[in-house]
Structure 1
Amino acid sequence: MISVDAIAVEFSGDTLFSDVSFVINENDKIALMGKNGAGKSTMMKIIAGEQKPTRGHIRFPKDAVIAYLPQHLLTDDNCTVFEEASKAFQEIFTMRDEIARLNKELETRTDYESDAYMKIIEKVSDLGEKFYALDDINYEAEVEKALGGLGFKREDFNRPTSEFSGGWRMRIELAKILLQKPDLILLDEPTNHVDIESVIWLEDFLLNKAKAVVVISHDKTFIDNITNRTIEVTMGKIYDYKANYTHYLQLREDRRSHQIKAFQEQQKFIADNQAFIDRFKGTYSKTNQVTSRERMLEKLQIIEIDEIDTSALKLRFPPAVRSGDYPVTAESLSKSYGDHIVFKDANLSISRGEKVSFVGRNGEGKSTMIKAIMGELDFEGKCELGHNVKVGYFAQNQASLLDPELTIFQTVDEVAQGDIRTQIKNILGRFMFSGDMLDKKVSVLSGGEKTRLAMVKLLLEPVNLLILDEPTNHLDLKSKDVLKEALLAFDGTLILVSHDRDFLQGLSEKVFEFKDKRVIEHFETIDAFLKRNRIENLKEIDLKS
């Protein structure tokens, strides 16, 4: 059991939260929720020991293992993938080396009756008992299973970590955490860089093999599937619900309704008493009553109503000219890098107004196909855009392409043309940029703010073909919901690559699956595909176990 006791965090006189207490039990699966800036990541860092609170303590058993996966990290570039993941078993390796060193020392010593000699024997005995209790772990097989579950192929195991993107390095770190079998796993946005199949594997692991888990995530389906408790951080306090995310939303709305009712009753009570005070102040016979009521009102603690994150992304795609019947067609399309075949003889035809999803494990060619459609790389075969197609393209690295030296306003003003320039402040306001914030440089913005700003740039011109490659990374739940509503209302053609199942559901009527160097067309909704795919992958997990 891990106890959070009266934690408080203050920055320059401002209180992030105060007197926060709760207990994490052995098998709790907790979603840590709250609006951006409420203090979720700070709370997680404190539990992990990465940050100290202003006041309060974290208490846990002496031998408890707490593993923490932050949003951003780098692994050691001098190791291979397999070597880096194997560091999860460093305790075993250290004990093995220490036992060997002590045994070597015993071989050379001759003071068999001395206290020092007997202490070495006792130490070897104690270490040996611990080591042989762990020695039946086939760590190589465990490492292979974890890396395979998180999307690595066997040929990746001996590649240096320096060859992998930040998202793949995050998976290596996640594999290390899972292999440690910790008493508490702390995960801050673990699904941001993980494909659907790996998320399914991770869910199964957390549900069936992990002990306590605390997770921050904007993936509603993920947190609904794995959590049985929700702790909300809001207005410097916490509310603890024995419920998953969806049920928590209902309970929170009930709580707020009760708060509003109590607040209104309290305001009426205050108004009635103030009216009495105003009416009889100065009346000698009522002096004691007036004084009593004044003191009562001074001491009265005003009921607070929980804040609601009313800021919202209001996306309105402008009308565009009508495209041809088939905005995108490809015939016998193949792409290789040297001997490595990404996909071969792919055929696809996307009709005007269709909304389609590209799905598959990372590295199977989804983004490569998009680059082929955009004409950003060479390929074999045919790939063409149709008549009158106006493309809006949001790439995974779109936010990183922004000029860090420009302000938010300058970034948009630079690309705006015509009458739209008079509406720049209104447009930015819809994306939660307003006031003094417009003068902030891009370099100081968070990942989510940069993503929203890049989306503003995309929406300044009317398009009839939207190609979105992982558009929801770093977007909060509210922003994702509003973006999804806008995409549902979009009357053009949509190609969507996303690992976020909740975001995908209901958005497309056709699925192109990238798998084993092939592109397979499925005439089914993304909902039907994901339901079937989950069953298949869980069978694979059973076979690997």
Structure 2
Amino acid sequence: MSLINVTNLTFAYEGSYDNIFENVNFQIDTDWKLGFTGRNGRGKTTFLSLLLGKYEYSGNISAHVTFEYFPFQVDNKELNTIDVISEIFPDYIHWKLMRELSLLKVSEDVLYRPFDSLSNGEQTKVLLATLFIKENSFLLIDEPTNHLDMTARELVSDYLNTKSGYILVSHDRSFLDNCVDHILSINKTNIEIQKGNFSSWWENKVRQDNFELAEDEKLRRDIKRLSASSKRTGNWSHEVEKTKNGTRNSGSKVDKGYIGHKAAKMMKRSKAIEQRQNSAINEKSKLLKNIENSENLEITQLGYHKRQLAELDNISIFYGEKKVCSDVSFTIEQGERIALSGKNGSGKSSIIKLMCGEDIDFTGTLTKDSQLIISYVSQDTSNLQGNLTDYARDNGIDESLFKSILRKLDFSRIQFDKDISTYSGGQKKKVLIAKSLSEKAHLYIWDEPLNFIDVISRMQIEELLLEYTPTLVFVEHDREFCNNVATKIVEL
């Protein structure tokens, strides 16, 4: 066991006017299985880069370990997989590699195929196996689930549960719950570490948030009452003091000493009330700093004149000679939320592209009205660039509504001035989702919308879909999300 000590860490990117971290202090045990969570853009990947020594910072990070980062950069993807592994780790021991591949259920033959011919899931597993044969290192595992189907996520989560000595960045609640024993969370105003998995951390956070909200309401009432009381007492003191120069009702001269004493007593009471009020204000200022902005989202969907929006009957899709799926049949009715499920390569994205009108070679029958309006969220964010104002105009959506949704998804106003291409992966996906929510459509089709998106935003999107019940067809490998949202599952 050794410790990683972070002391007074402050960091901002060059040319930026807002700090990512400011005077941050915490300690990590290198034997932990540490889950790393926080909203998009808070600095999770940046912190891993600081551990790797990529940027200058103020403060101190002391560690007596070697750090290894996942995913590895693979420059020559046309090489056979075994040669890619050799470039990453020239001194690897073959039997150890085979042991890890076996645990991840990857067959030996993938080693002798070009790396770029492997599926995204196979590539992820191969690189994870390579990571874990690098012994005596503390591992920084950055979002390994993004290209894994649900079955592969369970397998990788079980695999990580047998290991220790890593920081794992993931937004998949079920995945984290199965394989971490501590949570490192980047909050709005601090960084904290708790023992337990994601669910226990979230339960504690909700309990703390509810306590602070109740205290906030109580202190608001106290401050209002004390403010009124202080004002009344001050007025009384002033009125009593004025009578010094007047006369009693009997016409005799007033006792100025008595009245002065009474006024002073009133003033003293007023000062005491004011002090209690200021104390309450100070206590209130300590609350709500880490309560996340998770306002309800809204959607305006179009009504449709038929209950059934579309039907797929015995659909098979081909890419050249290769058949990617066969005999797919299902109907889409208003209010249904249909999850397309299946392993990577089973044709889920191809079905979505066909429904969206792309030119795809298929057999079978797709029935949908030409007047049906579809709002589509793609997996791909690589083409996003420019500012949000131009993006809204180019896509014909209401800029105010679009930005309002992004604010609710934890975008700061500073982000509105930046080029979209500089956003984190999660922030780019939020741009696509906000665009879709700003569009009036009969049918929403989302292809892996939650890749890179933080947990709290996932929960907001869940609540939206449950409240407004839009008609939705989606592909998503987050088990918790699918269990909560889907009204029907189509297995491919």
CA separation of 1:157 and 1:463: change in aligned 2, threshold 3 A: farther
Please point out which of 311, 314, 322 is paired with 2:297. 314
Equivalent pairs, count: 446
Are 2:28 and 1:20 aligned? no
Please point out which of 355, 358, 362 is paired with 2:344. 362
Deviation of 1:324 after TM superposition, in Å, equals 5.3
2:174 matched residue in structure 1: 221
Question: For residues 484-503 of structure 1, what are the structure 2 equivalents within 5 Å?
Answer: 484-503=462-481
Aligned-partner SS, 2:91: helix
Q: Which moved more, 1:322-331 or 1:190-199?
A: 322-331
Are 2:423 and 1:445 aligned? yes
1:382 matched residue in structure 2: 364
1:67 matched residue in structure 2: 68
TM-score by length of 2: 0.75
For 2:476 and 2:357, the matched residues in 1 are separated by 21
CA separation of 1:464 and 1:426: change in aligned 2, threshold 3 A: closer
Deviation of 1:217 after TM superposition, in Å, equals 1.6
Deviation of 1:395 after TM superposition, in Å, equals 1.8
Is the Cα–Cα contact under 8 Å of residues 38 and 454 in structure 2 kept in the other structure?
no
CA separation of 1:485 and 1:258: change in aligned 2, threshold 3 A: closer
Is the Cα–Cα contact under 8 Å of residues 98 and 108 in structure 2 kept in the other structure?
no
Residues 40-99 of structure 1: per-residue CA shift (max 9 Å, x gap): 333333334444541123222xxx5532225x9444335322322355653347xxxxxx
Are 2:399 and 1:424 aligned? yes
Is the Cα–Cα contact under 8 Å of residues 393 and 466 in structure 1 kept in the other structure?
yes
For 2:203 and 2:41, the matched residues in 1 are separated by 23
Residues 438-492 of structure 1: per-residue CA shift (max 9 Å, x gap): 4543333333333222233334443222221101113222222222222234545
Residue type matched to 2:478 in 1?
D
Question: For residues 501-516 of structure 1, what are the structure 2 equivalents within 5 Å?
Answer: 501-514=479-492
Residue type matched to 1:355 in 2?
R
For 2:469 and 2:439, the matched residues in 1 are separated by 15
For 2:68 and 2:382, the matched residues in 1 are separated by 30
CA separation of 1:307 and 1:328: change in aligned 2, threshold 3 A: same
Residue type matched to 2:95 in 1?
N
Deviation of 1:145 after TM superposition, in Å, equals 2.6
Residues 245-286 of structure 1: per-residue CA shift (max 9 Å, x gap): 2221232344456667888779979x89xx79x989xx9999
Please point out which of 160, 163, 176 is paired with 1:206. 160
1:141 matched residue in structure 2: 98
For 1:25 and 1:441, the matched residues in 2 are separated by 37
2:329 matched residue in structure 1: 348
Residues 474-527 of structure 1: per-residue CA shift (max 9 Å, x gap): 32222222222222345453221111112111222332223xxxxxxxxxxxxx
2:35 matched residue in structure 1: 31
Aligned-partner SS, 1:202: helix
Deviation of 1:411 after TM superposition, in Å, equals 1.4
1:122 matched residue in structure 2: none
Aligned-partner SS, 2:10: strand
1:240 matched residue in structure 2: 193
CA separation of 1:212 and 1:394: change in aligned 2, threshold 3 A: same
Q: Which moved more, 1:184-193 or 1:258-267?
A: 258-267
Aligned-partner SS, 2:202: helix
Is the Cα–Cα contact under 8 Å of residues 394 and 467 in structure 1 kept in the other structure?
yes
Deviation of 1:163 after TM superposition, in Å, equals 5.3
For 1:489 and 1:414, the matched residues in 2 are separated by 29
For 1:233 and 1:185, the matched residues in 2 are separated by 19
2:252 matched residue in structure 1: none
Residues 173-229 of structure 1: per-residue CA shift (max 9 Å, x gap): 333213335553222222122221221111111112x12222222111111222222
Question: For residues 76-115 of structure 1, what are the structure 2 equivalents within 5 Å?
Answer: 76-77=76-77, 79-86=79-86, 90-92=90-92
Structure 2: any 5+ residue segments left out of the alignment? 238-259, 266-270
- Aligned Cα root-mean-square deviation (Å): 4.1
CA separation of 1:511 and 1:311: change in aligned 2, threshold 3 A: closer
For 2:10 and 2:412, the matched residues in 1 are separated by 27
Are 2:481 and 1:476 aligned? no
Please point out which of 148, 152, 162 is paired with 1:194. 148
Residue type matched to 1:66 in 2?
F
Is the Cα–Cα contact under 8 Å of residues 15 and 236 in structure 1 kept in the other structure?
no
CA separation of 1:147 and 1:158: change in aligned 2, threshold 3 A: farther
CA separation of 1:190 and 1:315: change in aligned 2, threshold 3 A: farther
Residue type matched to 1:8 in 2?
L
CA separation of 1:361 and 1:57: change in aligned 2, threshold 3 A: same
CA separation of 1:238 and 1:446: change in aligned 2, threshold 3 A: closer
Aligned-partner SS, 1:138: helix
1:120 matched residue in structure 2: none
Is the Cα–Cα contact under 8 Å of residues 104 and 156 in structure 2 kept in the other structure?
no
Residues 319-367 of structure 1: per-residue CA shift (max 9 Å, x gap): 33234536121225242433x33223x1312141332221222222211
1:57 matched residue in structure 2: 61
2:250 matched residue in structure 1: none
2:184 matched residue in structure 1: 231
1:457 matched residue in structure 2: 435
Is the Cα–Cα contact under 8 Å of residues 322 and 464 in structure 1 kept in the other structure?
no
Structure 1: any 5+ residue segments left out of the alignment? 94-136, 515-545
CA separation of 1:204 and 1:23: change in aligned 2, threshold 3 A: same
For 1:82 and 1:377, the matched residues in 2 are separated by 37
2:134 matched residue in structure 1: 180
CA separation of 1:492 and 1:10: change in aligned 2, threshold 3 A: closer
CA separation of 1:57 and 1:267: change in aligned 2, threshold 3 A: farther
CA separation of 1:468 and 1:154: change in aligned 2, threshold 3 A: farther
Please point out which of 374, 378, 383 is paired with 1:391. 374
Is the Cα–Cα contact under 8 Å of residues 82 and 143 in structure 1 kept in the other structure?
no
Is the Cα–Cα contact under 8 Å of residues 18 and 236 in structure 1 kept in the other structure?
no
Aligned-partner SS, 1:192: coil
Residue type matched to 1:59 in 2?
A
Aligned-partner SS, 1:372: helix
Question: For residues 245-324 of structure 1, what are the structure 2 equivalents within 5 Å?
Answer: 245-256=198-209, 304-305=286-287, 306-310=289-293, 312=295, 314-323=297-306
Aligned-partner SS, 1:505: helix
Deviation of 1:169 after TM superposition, in Å, equals 5.1
Is the Cα–Cα contact under 8 Å of residues 487 and 507 in structure 1 kept in the other structure?
yes
For 2:401 and 2:18, the matched residues in 1 are separated by 33
1:529 matched residue in structure 2: none
For 1:15 and 1:454, the matched residues in 2 are separated by 24
